[in-house]
Structure 1
Amino acid sequence: MSVSQGIFSGMCDYCQRFDLFNMINDALLLIDFEDGKILFMNQKALTLYQYTQEEFLTLFADDIANSSMRTLRENMELAKTHKEGYIFTTNHIKKDGTIFKVEVSARYMKLHGTPVFAAVIRNLTFDGKMREEIQMAGKVQHRMLPRDLENELFRIRSVYQPHHYVSGDLYDFVYEEKSQLLFGIMIDVMGHSVAAALQTSILKYLFLKAIKKNITINDRLAWINKEVMPFFKGGQFAGVFLFEFDFMCNTLTYAAGGINHFIILKEQGPHIIKTPGLFLGINEDEVYDQGSYHFTSGESFLFLTDGLFERIVQPMDHELDFWSIHELSKKILNSGECKDDASGVGILIR
């Protein structure tokens, strides 16, 4: 576009290379600081506001700003006092009358002696839609969690709290009444992104496939690790803990891959059990250990991801029982102090 009019007339060759501004991915405006006249709009801005190159030369700042001149002037003055730039949100108007929310990164400068309000505009409408979709994804993720179970053999109580809408932490459990087997998994994927949430779903799917295999629990974990490898790239990994309660033999078996702890609650109080095992997604041929424990009536077990486990004060109070720890866990999650995704599954043996 031609930049030979107004402020740009008579400029040196370097200053006339304003076509370079069309390489910027955001909309850019240059506005006369004194009278608010729009001096320049790059191609991104023309597309965003729906004006032609000829039309923008007739526009003033209040033609695109859905705010009073007083508010507009206040923001311009603030940009002048902030040498590093001033960022604010406001509403703007397109040529067709559509009002949309924007973030303005503004700076005051002089071009050939003319005071200029330079503004980079980022459309927040798309961000808002993305936020709504992520919130919906988080609700779906939550609803897919299994409901707490209770029968003559055991009680299950769970807690769950994403750090930000969707969670990289997840759990699942399946009870087979005929064989009296309770299978469970705790998942803690690195990060809090949508990608992490998708990876938890993949691990949950693989867990449901693994429990149908007639192999040991540590071999199930190794199989899950091998199957999930294509979905973890660039140093990503996941912590996983598999457990299986056999209520015919009163035996708990387990295998750890990055979540290397669980808690047993006995009459003497809580005991933290540590078990080795490398994170999933690192070594395709990783071999995992298997542990076992013979449980009795009245004992209970807590399987927690790091976001919750690390918030419980250590050493644990010996007066804590299953229900008090469950309440403590809910209190921690509701306090707003937890800075990570957090999940927990508690199982009380009747």
Structure 2
Amino acid sequence: MSFLHSNIFGESCGYCQRIDLLNMINDPFILIDFENGKILFMNRKALDMYQYSEEECLTKFVKDISHNSARLIQENLDLAKKQKDGYVFTANHIKKDGSIFKVEISSRYMSLHGKFVFAAVVRNLTSNGKMREEIQLAGKVQRRLLPRDTDNHLFRTFSIYQPANYISGDLYDYVFQEESQKLYGIVIDVMGHGLAAAFQTNLLKYLFLRVVDKKKSVKDKLAWMNKEVMPFFTGGEFAGVFLFEFDFTCNTLTYSAGGINYFISIKNQKAQITKAPGIFLGIKEGETFDQDTYSFQPGEGFLFLTDGLFERFKQPLEQELNFESLLEMCEKIVTSGECRDDATGLGIMLH
């Protein structure tokens, strides 16, 4: 029996009946008698969280569900009374089985049928904390799966990787095949920053590793990746991808763009932006892509960037920029605290 059907407020009126709608909200909600701390109402979410029945909750006081001292409980009640726009605070609460958990309470002091009450929306911070820990762990795993910077007789790689939050919708990867003297690489920028974007990003990384050994042109490899990823982009999402291949037997860079439509080359202390056409992956299953070829010489450098980095460069680029200067600019962007997007880049310096 809830307070609506008890004698606390007398006969139930239409106004009180509308409070039954509080059972429809997704957060636990509690009404407490401000004068004596007696619990007057818990919605179903609150009953489930504290493990009480409707009848049991009406025999409880705020001290029965709070693990804080009586003095701190009263201080929070008094502060809620003074704050007309509501008062938010954290506390330690206790369930029927004795387990203690941390909560955030959004409270308001109000009058209901002439009785002063303390209305509280309660959020369990313990479960949020566990979710945060899991997301942080996922971010650490995601980072550890990235390839480490490499330095060999043909090239040296430099990576930039800074998620906007714990996990990223951006990734890079590369594979060098000594036998064929080819370096295959990819930069990925999936729309969004959450768990779904991270899953889609890792899926594209997996498809890249599968397509490397396929005897296809770069543009056909990108088309194959697009086809394979389509079932996982059903909610209007899309991904920017730049796929490239360095062939050191003939000194050519072959590339195909899918939503990331640029790269930066550095030659003789001069930086140049090269643009390439191509729509995002995940939009149209049968999409075809273009490819182009760039002839390089030892000593040149290349930067393949996602929007989080590229869009923060002042354009046009200064002509007198060397490879190290551009890398320093990237580092300043990701450490400035002003970047609100995932920021990823792969730099390649040719020996």
TM-score (norm 2): 0.94
Deviations 1:238-276 (A, max 9, x none): 000000000000000000010011000011411011111
More displaced stretch, 31-40 vs 47-56 = 47-56
For 1:73, the equivalent position in structure 2 comes to: 74
Do the aligned partners of residues 54 and 280 (structure 1) sit closer, same or farther apart at CA in structure 2, a change above 3 Å counting? Answer: same
In 2, Cα distance between the equivalents of 1:23 and 1:286?
A: 45
In 1, Cα distance between the equivalents of 2:274 and 2:257?
A: 11
In 1, Cα distance between the equivalents of 2:222 and 2:2?
A: 65
Do the aligned partners of residues 17 and 289 (structure 1) sit closer, same or farther apart at CA in structure 2, a change above 3 Å counting? Answer: closer
Deviations 1:107-166 (A, max 9, x none): 222111001111121212111111111111111111111111111111111111111111
Shift of 1:286: 1.4
Matches within 5 A, 1:8-27: 8-12=9-13, 14-16=15-17, 19-27=20-28
**8 Å Cα contact 2:155-2:350 kept in structure 1:** yes
For 2:58, the equivalent position in structure 1 comes to: 57
**SS of the counterpart of 2:273?**
strand
**8 Å Cα contact 1:149-1:156 kept in structure 2:** yes
In 1, Cα distance between the equivalents of 2:11 and 2:224?
A: 72
More displaced stretch, 60-69 vs 162-171 = 60-69
Matches within 5 A, 1:107-118: 107-118=108-119
Quick check: 1:96 aligned with 2:71?
no
**SS of the counterpart of 1:7?**
coil
Unaligned runs of 5+ in 1: none
In 2, Cα distance between the equivalents of 1:68 and 1:318?
A: 67
For 1:199, the equivalent position in structure 2 comes to: 200
For 2:259, the equivalent position in structure 1 comes to: 258
For 1:42, the equivalent position in structure 2 comes to: 43
More displaced stretch, 322-331 vs 296-305 = 322-331
**8 Å Cα contact 1:6-1:39 kept in structure 2:** no
**SS of the counterpart of 2:280?**
coil
**8 Å Cα contact 2:105-2:123 kept in structure 1:** yes
Do the aligned partners of residues 2 and 339 (structure 1) sit closer, same or farther apart at CA in structure 2, a change above 3 Å counting? Answer: closer
**SS of the counterpart of 1:255?**
strand
For 2:287, the equivalent position in structure 1 comes to: 286
In 2, Cα distance between the equivalents of 1:18 and 1:277?
A: 55
Residue type at the aligned position of 2:129: G
Q: How much identity, in percent, do the aligned residues show?
A: 64
Do the aligned partners of residues 153 and 105 (structure 1) sit closer, same or farther apart at CA in structure 2, a change above 3 Å counting? Answer: same
Do the aligned partners of residues 223 and 36 (structure 1) sit closer, same or farther apart at CA in structure 2, a change above 3 Å counting? Answer: same
In 1, Cα distance between the equivalents of 2:23 and 2:340?
A: 40
Deviations 1:47-102 (A, max 9, x none): 21123333323322122222233433343344334444333322211223221111
For 1:182, the equivalent position in structure 2 comes to: 183
In 1, Cα distance between the equivalents of 2:297 and 2:13?
A: 87
Shift of 1:23: 3.0
| Count, aligned residues | 350
Do the aligned partners of residues 81 and 233 (structure 1) sit closer, same or farther apart at CA in structure 2, a change above 3 Å counting? Answer: farther
In 2, Cα distance between the equivalents of 1:157 and 1:16?
A: 65
**SS of the counterpart of 1:9?**
coil
TM-score (norm 1): 0.94
In 2, Cα distance between the equivalents of 1:208 and 1:55?
A: 59
For 1:236, the equivalent position in structure 2 comes to: 237
Residue type at the aligned position of 2:212: I
For 1:31, the equivalent position in structure 2 comes to: 32
In 2, Cα distance between the equivalents of 1:2 and 1:296?
A: 80
**SS of the counterpart of 2:290?**
coil
In 2, Cα distance between the equivalents of 1:57 and 1:213?
A: 68
Shift of 1:330: 1.9
**8 Å Cα contact 1:7-1:114 kept in structure 2:** no
Residue type at the aligned position of 1:117: F
Deviations 1:167-225 (A, max 9, x none): 00001100000110000000000000100000011111111122211111111111111
**SS of the counterpart of 2:97?**
coil
For 1:138, the equivalent position in structure 2 comes to: 139
Matches within 5 A, 1:296-335: 296-335=297-336
**8 Å Cα contact 1:8-1:16 kept in structure 2:** no
**8 Å Cα contact 2:139-2:168 kept in structure 1:** yes
**SS of the counterpart of 1:252?**
strand
**8 Å Cα contact 1:167-1:197 kept in structure 2:** yes
Unaligned runs of 5+ in 2: none
Do the aligned partners of residues 294 and 184 (structure 1) sit closer, same or farther apart at CA in structure 2, a change above 3 Å counting? Answer: same
In 2, Cα distance between the equivalents of 1:49 and 1:276?
A: 57
In 1, Cα distance between the equivalents of 2:241 and 2:217?
A: 16
**8 Å Cα contact 1:134-1:166 kept in structure 2:** yes
More displaced stretch, 88-97 vs 18-27 = 18-27
Residue type at the aligned position of 2:95: K
